[in-house]
Amino acid sequence: MFDSRHIRTFHEVVRTRSYSAAAQALGYTQPAISQQMKALEREVGTPLFTRVGRRLRLTEAGETLARHTEHILGSMSVAREQMAAIARLRTGLVRVCAFPSANATLLPEAMALLAVEHPGIRVELLEDEPPDSLRRVVQGESDVTLAFTYPGLREEVPAELVEIPLLEDQLTVLLPVGHPMARRRAVQLGDLAQERWIAGCLRCRTNFVHECAQLGFTPDIVFTTDDNLAVQALVAQGLGVAMMPGLSLSFLRRDKVRGKPLAPASRRQVSAYVLREHLRIPATARLLEALAAVAGRRADPLEA
């Protein structure tokens, strides 16, 4: 590994062919230049200069290093500028992993805010459900994860992660338009005990079965899929009903299905999760601020 100060000094000595001229150009004393060049020669393990009379001449190793110094110093300059740009929020990449309904709702709105206020910040989207999405942050595959938890379930969150609560997402039941309960303002889960059900991801399905068990029945689950649009299509064809998050109503096929809130209300907590040290990264912090702003102003889809 080369000391960058030594490379810069070497470049100036090569340019001026003189320790004294390099010292004057860099604001050093001549002994300081001489000491730096000796240190650089120890780093490379071979002499870089020979003296011919009062002038310096590069050795073969010196000639080789001299051919690379322009590139080395240029790369260092570019690196400094890029790091400064990140610190000033002109640029930056944030990798976000989220569950499907967040990728279709909260994140596009947050990214639109960033595009206006910090256009140099780029967001890379990944999709996964918890708990796998939480492991992605811990393993360094993403910088931020959006995930959800249900109050009735004991769910472990890795100790390395910081939770930033965003919103409570009210659960809803999807019914085909011709269903007898489709005209109700809200529905009770127990009234649907005899229905055929379409269930979602493992965590959602576990919560759904848990809520049904508390009401004294076991749901007849005939289809399972993580695809929100597939769930809507199955409901629209009268193949079953489904318990869905309120966020999914933002892209509801309202001509075919109806979304009705549960009574009493049932909600899941939607939060952002990040490693504590990533909170100090400017681009990540700005994305989290945008997500909090979007979540704070977002109307409950069931009330829209």
CATH number of the domain at 39, please: 1.10.10.10
Tell me the residue range of the domain where 74 lies: 4-88
pTM for this model (two decimals): 0.68
Quick check: is 184 in a domain? Answer: yes
Based on the domain organization, do 155 and 293 belong to the same domain?
Answer: yes
Based on the domain organization, do 80 and 107 belong to the same domain?
Answer: no
Separation CA 14–CA 301 (nearest Å): 69
Quick check: is 304 in a domain? Answer: no
Based on the domain organization, do 80 and 144 belong to the same domain?
Answer: no
Separation CA 248–CA 259 (nearest Å): 9
Based on the domain organization, do 73 and 173 belong to the same domain?
Answer: no
Separation CA 249–CA 230 (nearest Å): 14
Contact criterion met (CB below 8 Å) for 230 and 253: no
- In tens, the pLDDT along 242-278 reads 999 989 888 776 688 999 999 999 999 999 999 988 8
| CA distances (Å), origin 71, targets 10, 67, 90, 97, 210 | 13, 8, 25, 37, 63
Quick check: is 275 in a domain? Answer: yes
Total of domains in the chain: 2
Based on the domain organization, do 159 and 42 belong to the same domain?
Answer: no
pLDDT > 90: percent of the chain: 55
User: In tens digits, what is the pLDDT along the chain, a chain of 304 residues?
Assistant: 678 888 889 999 998 888 999 999 888 999 999 999 999 999 888 999 888 777 788 999 989 998 888 788 877 766 775 666 555 555 678 999 999 999 999 999 999 999 998 888 889 999 999 989 999 988 888 999 999 999 878 778 888 899 999 999 999 999 999 999 999 999 999 999 999 999 988 899 999 999 999 999 999 999 999 888 899 999 999 999 999 998 988 877 668 899 999 999 999 999 999 998 888 888 899 999 999 999 998 754 444 3
Contact criterion met (CB below 8 Å) for 61 and 44: yes
Contact criterion met (CB below 8 Å) for 103 and 250: no
Quick check: is 9 in a domain? Answer: yes
Based on the domain organization, do 161 and 210 belong to the same domain?
Answer: yes
Based on the domain organization, do 14 and 45 belong to the same domain?
Answer: yes
Based on the domain organization, do 42 and 184 belong to the same domain?
Answer: no
Token pair recorded at residue 99: 């569950």
Among 166, 170, 251, 235, smallest CA distance to 199 is for: 235
Based on the domain organization, do 81 and 143 belong to the same domain?
Answer: no
Based on the domain organization, do 43 and 183 belong to the same domain?
Answer: no
Quick check: is 303 in a domain? Answer: no
Average pLDDT, the chain: 88
CATH number of the domain that 284 lies in? Answer: 3.40.190.290
Based on the domain organization, do 19 and 61 belong to the same domain?
Answer: yes
